[in-house]
Each structure stands twice: as C-alpha cells, then as structure tokens.
Amino acid sequence: MVFSLFSKKNRIINLVINDHSIRFLELKQEDPPTPQRWLERFLPPGIIRDGKIVDIDSLSSILEECIDEWKIKRRSIRFIVPDPLVIIRKVTIPADVQEDEIKGYLYLELGSSIHLPFEEPVFDYYSLPDNDKTRDLLLFAAPEQNVMEYVNLLSKLKMNPVSADISPLSLYRLYHKVDRAGGDEVLFTVQFDLTSVNLCIFDETIPLVMRHFGLPFDINQWEITRNSLGLMVGKYTGEPEELVLQFEDIFKEINKLMDFYRYSNNTEKPDITKFLLNGDHPLLMAIYDEMKERYEIPVDLLTIDKEAKSKHPSIPTNLLLPLGLALKEVQ
C-alpha cells in the first residue's frame, strides 16, 4: 500500500519514527534481505505523542543532527506512517463502480456514507472479492495534516520523501520474503514496542483489522544506553508489578481482538493459526515465553537468522521493521 503523495525515486533510505526513536536502514541486497548499514537515535518523551508531532522544533533539531551524522542528506526516503494515525476499515461500494473510478468515488463518500474520526484523510484501498451487487474494499487512511507534517519536515531538512507504508504490511513483507508464511494462514501480528503495541490480523496476505495501544512510559524508570552496535538498550528499574499489569492489559486486548475476528467473520473462515511477534521492547523474549504459555496457538518470533548467511551479522529485532520497509518497491 502507498499513500498517494509521492513519486518513485532510486537509492531510497528507510526511516521509522515513533514516539521514542528514530531508526534508519539502507538495504544492501534483497535476497536474502541484508542491510548495508543502520543506526538509531532515542527520542526523549514529549516530542512525539501517539504518532503526532508535539515539539516540531526539537524533532527538527534531532533529525538534522541524525541526517548529518548518518550522511543521508538529499536522499530519497520511505517512511512508516505512525501506527496511532492509521485506520484500516472495510467499506462497501456499488459493484458497478469501475476500477478507475474507485478513488474518486471514495473521495465523494468520505464524510457522508464513509465516516472516519478525522477530516481530510490521505488514503489508499485494496479490493476484496466482490459479488454482483456490492464490492468490498479495505480502506487504509490517516489524517493528511499529520502525515504531511512529517513530509514537510523531511523536505525542509533536504530529504526527499517518496513513499509511505504502514508497519503491519512492512513486517508481513519481510515475513513472506523469508518464506515463513504458510498457506491458508490467519496470522495475528503483535508489534510490541517500548511505548506501544500494535495488533493486526492477516487473512492470508490481507490485513483485515488493526488496533493500536499505548503503553505507560516513565523515563525515570528506564535506563537507556547504547550497545556495541550503536542500538538502544533499555533496562527497567521500576517495580516489576507495573510491567506485569501493562502486559496483562495487552493480553486482554489480544483476546478481545481474537473474539472480534471470530464473531465478525463467517463460520467458514478459519480461526487464528499463528501469532507473529516482533518489536523493540527490551523484554520481548519474556513476552514471547508468556505468549507461548498462555495460548495454544503457535507463536513465531520474527527473525531472519536462519535465512541469513553466516558471513552476515545477525539483525536485531528492532531493525526488522525498517528492513521490511526496505523491501517495498525494490527495483
């Protein structure tokens, strides 16, 4: 999926910005997926909140430092639209709307028969199998104002934004590329990050539903350092019970979304067949172990170590999202 704001360019840098970090990755080769170089920078709380830029001056200064340090000025950029901004919604349109008329039809119906929680969205769609009377689409939308804040800021800093994606599709692209996907699969992806969790259910290759949840984050209860690879390492110094309560809330949301999927789809659809876990949370392995204990459904931790050749370094899990983004539209 591409939000239709951009033209295509070559030599593309892949950028992921969320509430707590900026990550950059440059692809060396597509098969096997191998990064040429990567770096990241921790973002202090309050600069971005729920995907929206709150302190644009501070973000601009930090991004400018990163661009100079990483030597990526004037490069073309793909970026992830922050998860809290994105909505995936199934919509139904008349079957006689022609393919080249769909986008115009959606523009006309937004705000009238198609309601979103924001005005002036930037959007894309995916056509689902239709019948004779109606046609179903998956609508991917985000508030244009917030997306354009990122685009304009990057452009102001001498970067060239050319493409945007959403995190579940980027992760699924990598998952499929390394031959982990199975036939007739209903995949439940869990992106568990330091300050948020994003849940998405795929029916084969189609992301049917997505939910995003923020996690309470107190910087005073974390020690953030860098490891030998220059990547962030977080150590929790607060009361363990607080994290347990956070995780319990997320497991409840996972259960709710599983129930929603079961009851909103017809009985011929299979149930969830696999969890796919990824993210940058420092306790990701503990979360993985807990999910394996709680659920009878298999839990797959997204890695590409088995596919990577021994001469290539292991790729940290917090870089798999920009790596999946890098596989988008590879020429």
User: Is the domain of 210 the same as that of 101?
Assistant: no
Q: Are residues 320 and 171 in contact, defined by beta-carbon separation less than 8 angstroms?
A: yes
pLDDT at 230: 75
Contact 198, 169 (CB under 8 A): no
Cβ atoms < 10 Å from Cβ of 216: 11
Number of domains in the chain: 2
Q: Which residues of 276-285 are buried (b: 16+ CB within 10 A; e: fewer)?
A: bbbbbbbbbe
Give me the pLDDT at residue 266, please. Answer: 62
- What's the pLDDT at 310? 38
> Reduced to 3 DSSP states, what percent helix, strand and coil does the chain have, rounded to the nearest 5?
30, 35, 35
**pLDDT per position in the chain (331 positions), as tens?**
445 444 444 478 999 999 999 999 998 888 888 888 899 999 999 999 999 999 999 999 999 999 999 999 999 999 999 999 999 998 888 888 888 899 999 988 887 888 888 888 999 998 887 666 788 899 999 999 999 999 999 999 999 999 999 999 999 999 999 888 888 899 999 999 999 999 999 988 889 999 999 999 999 999 999 887 778 889 999 999 999 999 999 999 999 999 999 888 765 667 899 999 999 999 999 999 999 999 999 999 988 765 444 344 467 888 999 999 999 874 3
What pLDDT is stored for residue 305 in this prediction? 63
Q: Does one domain contain both 289 and 321?
A: yes
Residue 134's domain is classified under what CATH number?
3.30.1490.300
The pair of structure tokens assigned to 226 is: 């860098």
Given 108, 142, 176, the domain boundary residue is 142
What is the model's pLDDT at position 7?
Answer: 42
Q: Please check whether residue 134 lies inside any domain of the structure.
A: yes
155 and 99 within one domain: no
Parent domain of 107: 87-142
Q: Which helix (H) or strand (E) holds 87?
A: strand 87-94
The answer on 277 and 210 residing in a single domain is yes
